[in-house]
């Protein structure tokens, strides 16, 4: 089940919980065996042997949750990706043992082999809380939340450095594979003015563009952007960029591209800065006209 985007809101009909910055995964327990898999069916079971603690749960259940590496109570997504890329068949190394995977669960889909998909969220979660409490292991945790006070909860979550909030209708059913308005993802929106330094072509014109911003007083590459283009914006972008060719890139970039003079500015919407100084989940948000012809600045 997938969520739709929303702005912060209050409602006594909704539960608000942390949006854990991790990798979504379902788990099934049958006859003391367990299995863990991702959104596209990839089997994660051997990749995370420490989650064998799932065998403590009763047989016949399927749960939904998020795999995360937690540091000081916050999810560390880059650390999770480093761990996620390990060989499925290799033993846990010293580094893996220092950053064990937590499975933060938030929904119960089957119990004793019976489907709970049509039961209200409130009922599914109450039963899930009981099951997790009986397992009694810190690597398996229940994603708690608050009811009603979505705006205040969102402000607290963002101030604490978390990714955002999920709002879920307490009477909602579980709809596998569907993006439903009864689940809402609420994330802070950051906008950065950038200058376009290059582009890559696709069958319909510009497929992606490479953008830069000023960091520590120096213009640096920050992202390759391939989302957010309407057909009209893509056509306009192709025309405007092709008229500004440049032999070499104005800044160091990690990939080959068609380089352009740094004359076109745009707004980029993104989730956060990575530790390597790149924009995470960049999206084109429209054109930007800098005042006084100055380069776009980085708020860091």
Give me the CATH number covering residue 26.
3.30.470.30
Q: What is residue 98's predicted lDDT score, i.e. its pLDDT?
A: 65
| 3 state DSSP class of 18 | strand
Task: Please tell me what DSSP assigns to residue 99.
Answer: S
| Alpha-carbon gap, residue 20 to 76, rounded angstroms | 10
- Whether residue 142 is found in the same domain as residue 251: no
Q: Which alpha helices (H) appear in the chain, and where do they start and end?
A: 77-84, 94-98, 121-135, 150-159, 231-242
Structural domain for 17, as ranges: 2-186
Q: What is residue 297's predicted lDDT score, i.e. its pLDDT?
A: 47
| Alpha-carbon gap, residue 146 to 167, rounded angstroms | 10
Among 161, 186, 211, residue at a domain's last position: 186
Q: What is residue 300's predicted lDDT score, i.e. its pLDDT?
A: 35
What is the average pLDDT score of the chain?
Answer: 87
Tell me whether residue 23 is in a domain: yes
Tell me whether residue 298 is in a domain: no
CA dist list (Å): 162 to 123, 159, 243, 274: 27, 8, 42, 14
Tell me whether residue 299 is in a domain: no
Q: Which segments of the chain have a pLDDT < 50?
A: 89, 94, 293-295, 297-300
- Whether residue 177 is found in the same domain as residue 200: no
Q: Residues near 137 by Cβ (< 8 Å), separated by ≥ 6?
A: 53, 56
The predicted model scores a pTM of 0.68
Q: What is residue 47's predicted lDDT score, i.e. its pLDDT?
A: 87
- Whether residue 128 is found in the same domain as residue 200: no
95-108 confidence digits (pLDDT tens): 555 678 899 999 99
Number of folded domains that form the chain: 2
């Amino acid at each position: 089940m997938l969520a739709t985007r929303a702005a912060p809101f209050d409602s006594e009909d909704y539960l608000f919980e942390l949006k854990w910055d991790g990798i979504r995964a379902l788990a099934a327990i049958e006859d003391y065996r367990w299995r863990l898999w991702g959104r596209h069916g990839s089997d994660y079971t051997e990749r995370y042997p420490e989650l064998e603690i799932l065998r403590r749960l009763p047989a016949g259940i399927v749960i939904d949750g998020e795999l995360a590496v937690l540091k000081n109570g916050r999810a560390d997504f880059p650390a999770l990706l480093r761990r996620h890329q390990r060989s499925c068949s290799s033993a846990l190394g010293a580094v893996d043992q220092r950053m064990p995977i937590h499975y933060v669960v938030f929904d119960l889909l089957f119990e004793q082999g019976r489907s709970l998909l049509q039961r209200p969220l409130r009922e599914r979660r109450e039963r899930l809380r009981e099951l997790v409490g009986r397992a009694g292991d810190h690597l398996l945790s229940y994603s708690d939340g608050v009811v009603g006070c979505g705006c205040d909860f969102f402000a607290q979550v963002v101030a604490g450095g978390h990714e955002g909030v999920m709002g879920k209708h307490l009477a909602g059913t579980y709809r596998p594979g569907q993006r439903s308005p009864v689940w809402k993802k609420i994330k802070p929106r950051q906008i950065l003015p950038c200058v376009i330094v290059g582009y890559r072509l696709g069958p319909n014109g510009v497929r992606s563009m490479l953008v830069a911003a000023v960091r520590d007083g120096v213009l640096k590459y920050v992202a390759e952007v391939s989302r957010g283009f309407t057909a009209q914006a893509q056509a306009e972008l192709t025309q405007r960029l092709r008229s500004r060719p440049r032999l070499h890139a104005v800044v160091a970039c990690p990939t080959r591209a068609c380089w352009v003079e740094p004359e076109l500015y745009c707004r980029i919407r993104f989730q956060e800065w990575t530790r390597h100084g790149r924009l995470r989940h960049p999206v084109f948000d429209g054109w930007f006209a800098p005042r006084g012809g100055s380069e776009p600045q980085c708020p860091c």
